Amino acid sequence: MHPRLVSFNGRTFDLPVLKYRAMLHGIQAKWLHQSGDEWNNYHSKYSLDWHCDLIDAFSDFGSSARIKMNEICAMLNFPGKLETEGSMVEVMYNEGKLQEIRDYCELDVINTYLLYIRHAYHIARVSKESYNKMINDLVSFLEKRGKSSISQCF
């Protein structure tokens, strides 16, 4: 058993940024680069058991158009990105809006999780009962942390 990375466009954005930052700060990532085998590892595009990049999964690895996270979230009645986009984060940082950046990042993680468990249900990796339990657990988690306004979005 190995940890599974789940991302939305992480293969082309998040992972390269994290790798560059790790190299800059002298951090080794043996687990990322030396796990698995030739075809099943964190770098293998078609091995969703290691790194499930949802944009690849939803577009059949580029065979169809790549849907934006906000679009698929709207289709599935998930919260989406609300008023903030990733391109706004630098300006927000320069303006000292760290709490707003945190809120944006937290919502991005929640949306990624919601999309992942819906995908897992769609491909029959989890049952309807398991899917519903994951949703209920997320709602409980958010409510305990005073984020019930987010859980009311799905």
pLDDT, position 148: 78
> Considering the domain boundaries, does residue 72 fall inside one?
no
> Considering the domain boundaries, does residue 18 fall inside one?
yes
> Considering the domain boundaries, does residue 127 fall inside one?
yes
On whether both 88 and 144 belong to a single domain, the answer is yes
Which one of 23, 40, 67 terminates a domain? 67
On whether both 49 and 86 belong to a single domain, the answer is no
| Digit-coded pLDDT (tens) for 113-124 | 999 999 999 999
With 80 as the cut, is the pLDDT of residue 153 above it? no
With 90 as the cut, is the pLDDT of residue 152 above it? no
Residue 18 CA to residue 93 CA, distance in Å, equals 19
As a whole number, mean pLDDT of residues 106-110 equals: 94
The range of the structural domain enclosing residue 125 comes to 78-148
User: How many domains does one find in the chain?
Assistant: 2
- Please report which confidence band the pLDDT of residue 24 belongs to, taking 50, 70 and 90 as the band edges: very high
On whether both 6 and 48 belong to a single domain, the answer is yes
CB 4 within 8 A of CB 42: no
CA torsion sign for 95, 100, 105, 108 is negative
